Amino acid sequence: MRAVGLVVEYNPFHNGHLYHAQKAKTETESTAAVAVMSGHFLQRGEPAVVSKWARTKMALQSGVDLVVELPYMYAVQKAETFAGGSVRILHHLGCESLFFGSETGHITPFFETAKVFQEHEDLFHQCVKEELQRGASYPSAAAAAFRTILKEENTLDLSKPNNILGYHYVKSIQEIGSLMQPYTTARISSDYHDADLPKGETGIASATSIRKALEEEGLDTCGGFLPSASIRELEDYVQTFGLRHSSESYFSYLKYSLTTLSAQELQQIYEVEEGLEHRILRSIRKARSYQEYMELLKTKRYTWTRLQRMNTHILMRTRKQDMHRLLEDSEIPYIRLLGMTKKGQAFLSQQKKKLSVRLISKLSSFSHPALDLDIRASRIYSLPMNEPQRTVFNDQEYAHAPIRYDEDEKRFLSS
C-alpha cells in the first residue's frame, strides 16, 4: 500500500479539506491518506473549535484513512518547528509522499528556494539579525532576508502563509534525508485569511471565515461549506460538552494565570522575550476581554500569531528550559494514534514492523515529558466546560482508544 501524508488542523474539516484529501490520493496515486493533526491547541496559538477526537471523526468519514496527533511541542510553534515535527512523523510512518496546498501551486519553486537558501544561509541569518535590530518582527525580518537572497525568477513568494509552510516541509524533507516526495496544489476559491464566507450557500470557504460564522451566527450559516460529517460532529459536540471553543473562552483563566505569576516567573515562560513580561502584566490589568488584551499587547515587533502562541504557553506554564530540552532532540519521541479506517489499519499493520519510534494507542502504556505536555493541553482545553462534562472529557484522554471507522459500512466500530 502507498500512503500520502497530509499536515492538517481541520479546524473544522471543511469542503476545501475534502477536496485536498481526494486530490492528494489521486495526484500521488496513493491508496491511503495519512494525516498528522494538531491536538487541542493549534499552530497560531488558538484552541481548536472542537476536540481532536471530534475532528478525527470528521476526517475519517471524509476520505482520510489514518490520523495521528502532532504533539504540543511541535504544534504550537513557528512554521519551521511545526513543519519539522510533522515531516518527521510522516517519514517514520512510511509515507511515500507529502501533499500540501500552497498559493504558488507548483513544486519546482519550493525546490529552487530551498537550494538558494542552502547556498546563502549565512547571508540570510545576517539579514535577519539586522532587521530584528531595526525592530522588525521575526516574520517580517525573515521575509526581508529572503527578498535579499532570492533573486532567481523561479523562487517563492514567501509572504504567503501556505508557501511558507510548504517551503519548510520541503526543507525538512531534505534535512532528514527522507525519500518522501513533496507535491503541492494551488489553494482554490478562498484565501487562507478570508474573514467572511464567500457569496453563495455552498462551496469552499476559508477555515477562518467558517469559524467566524460559527461564532457569530451559528452552524446554519456555514453548513453549505462543510461535509455532512463535520456538521454532525459540530452539533454533537455542542450537545455533549455545551460549547465550541474560542480564545475568549480562556480569557478568565489567562487572567488568573497572569495574576498569580510575577514578572520574574513570567520571564521563564516559553516565547516571553525581551522584557515583554512587563507589557503583558500592564495589559492584562486593563483588559476586559481577550480581544482587548491582545490589542493592548500588540506591537510592531510581535505578530498577533506569535502573541497568541505565547498566551497559550502562559496558560500551559510551559517553561523555556523544558521546551528547549525537548526540542534539542532532533528525533520525534513517539507517534500517537487517534483514529483509522479499515484501509488505514491495513496500512498501519504493514508498517508496524518497520517503525523505529514508539506507536501509542493508549496513554497508560507510555510516559514521556512531551506526552505530559499533551495531557496538560487537554486539561487546559477542558477548563471552559461545566462539570461533569469536564471530568468526562479529561477521563477520555486516558481511556479513549483510537477511533475505528468502517468506510464500507459507514459506521464507527466499538473499541
Q: Does 187 carry a binding-site annotation? A: yes
pLDDT-derived band at 147 (thresholds 50, 70, 90) equals confident
Of residues 117 and 62, the one with the higher pLDDT is 62
Q: What is the mean pLDDT of residues 151-160?
A: 72
Q: Does 163 carry a binding-site annotation? A: no
State the CATH architecture for 3-103+186-245+327-413: 3-Layer(aba) Sandwich (3.40)
Average the pLDDT over each of 29-33, 89-93, 148-152, 212-216 and give the range with the smallest value: 148-152
pLDDT tens, residue by residue, 238-280: 999 999 999 999 999 999 999 999 999 999 999 998 889 999 9
Q: Does 13 carry a binding-site annotation? A: yes
Q: Does 7 carry a binding-site annotation? A: yes
Q: Does 162 carry a binding-site annotation? A: yes
Q: Does 235 carry a binding-site annotation? A: no
Whole-model pTM: value is 0.92
Q: Does 15 carry a binding-site annotation? A: yes
pLDDT-derived band at 201 (thresholds 50, 70, 90) equals low
pLDDT over 70 (residue 34): yes
User: How much of the chain, in percent, has pLDDT values that exceed 90?
Assistant: 72
Q: Does 128 carry a binding-site annotation? A: no
pLDDT over 90 (residue 315): yes
Q: Does 101 carry a binding-site annotation? A: yes
- So what's the pLDDT on residue 73? 98
pLDDT over 90 (residue 161): no
Q: Does 311 carry a binding-site annotation? A: no
Mean of per-residue pLDDT scores for the chain? 91
Task: Tally Cβ neighbours within 10 Å of residue 294.
Answer: 17
CATH code 3.40.50 region(s) in the chain: 3-103+186-245+327-413
Q: Does 92 carry a binding-site annotation? A: no
- So what's the pLDDT on residue 362? 84
pLDDT-derived band at 415 (thresholds 50, 70, 90) equals low
- So what's the pLDDT on residue 153? 57
Of residues 156 and 66, the one with the higher pLDDT is 66
pLDDT tens, residue by residue, 355-400: 999 999 988 778 999 999 999 999 999 999 999 999 989 988 888 8
pLDDT-derived band at 330 (thresholds 50, 70, 90) equals confident
Residues near 345 by beta carbon (within 8 Å), at least 6 away in sequence: 66, 404
pLDDT over 80 (residue 48): yes
Q: Does 405 carry a binding-site annotation? A: no
Of residues 111 and 119, the one with the higher pLDDT is 111
Q: What is the mean pLDDT of residues 52-80?
A: 97
- So what's the pLDDT on residue 299? 86
pLDDT-derived band at 138 (thresholds 50, 70, 90) equals confident
- So what's the pLDDT on residue 168? 94
pLDDT-derived band at 187 (thresholds 50, 70, 90) equals confident
pLDDT over 60 (residue 191): no
Q: Does 16 carry a binding-site annotation? A: yes
pLDDT over 60 (residue 130): yes
Q: Does 17 carry a binding-site annotation? A: yes
- So what's the pLDDT on residue 244? 95
pLDDT over 70 (residue 61): yes
What are the grid coordinates assigned to 2, written together?
Answer: 502507498
pLDDT over 60 (residue 94): yes
